[in-house]
Structure 1
Amino acid sequence: MKSILLVCDLGMSTSLVVKKMLNAAQKRGLEINIQAKGSQDFRTLIQQFDCALLGPQIAYKLSDFQNIANEYNKKVDCINMMDYGMTDGEKILDHALSLLEDIK
């Protein structure tokens, strides 16, 4: 089962996005673990997930988090601000799945 980490400042503002993504995954028949967590424990958390998406509010940390993720051969990117604001679970799930394409 693939695991997707959503990261925001405290792990709370992305909880609705997680629900929408899980609903989208269920409709597609995909078994995916999706969790929202705070950014303070990113180094530990990224080791437990296949990829990570950052909330737009912490997009400025992308470079730092990419450096950490690269140490563990993981991918990280930012959630599109419009998709995040609209809580578009379908589009955000597609974005995460695109990061997972190279993972066997």
Structure 2
Amino acid sequence: MIKHLRHTEINKSKWDNTIKLSPEGIVYAASWYLDIVSPGWEALMDDDYKFIFPLCTRSKFGFSYLYQPHFTQQGGLFSISGYPTTKKSKTISGCNSGKIQIDRDQSEYIKPY
């Protein structure tokens, strides 16, 4: 089940382990990097950290929104090796609507359903 976690609820050692085991793992998704470029970042993930999706948030005029932090080339969904590709693609496409623009890894090709 996909859940949304606030910054204080994220287990950073499990988070960093998923990034380490992920074929897509990049420094921009490491917890220490996110702490620097987007203090208070949040996440979408499954119950056991098999896939994680960092959410960098800001607030303007009382409205919260997602943004791409400076010095962060790309973001997206990161998963441990062997996580089903179809489930991953559906999760990404469900998170990327007209109100959200996230520059993802170039290897994440999404086929229309």
TM-score bin (small chain): 0.3 to 0.5
Q: Look at both structures and tell me which one has the larger radius of gyration over its CA atoms.
A: 2
Q: TM-score, normalised by structure 1?
A: 0.33
Higher relative contact order (CA 8 A, sep 6+): 1
Compare the two structures and name the one with the higher helix fraction: 1
Normalising by structure 2, what TM-score? Answer: 0.31
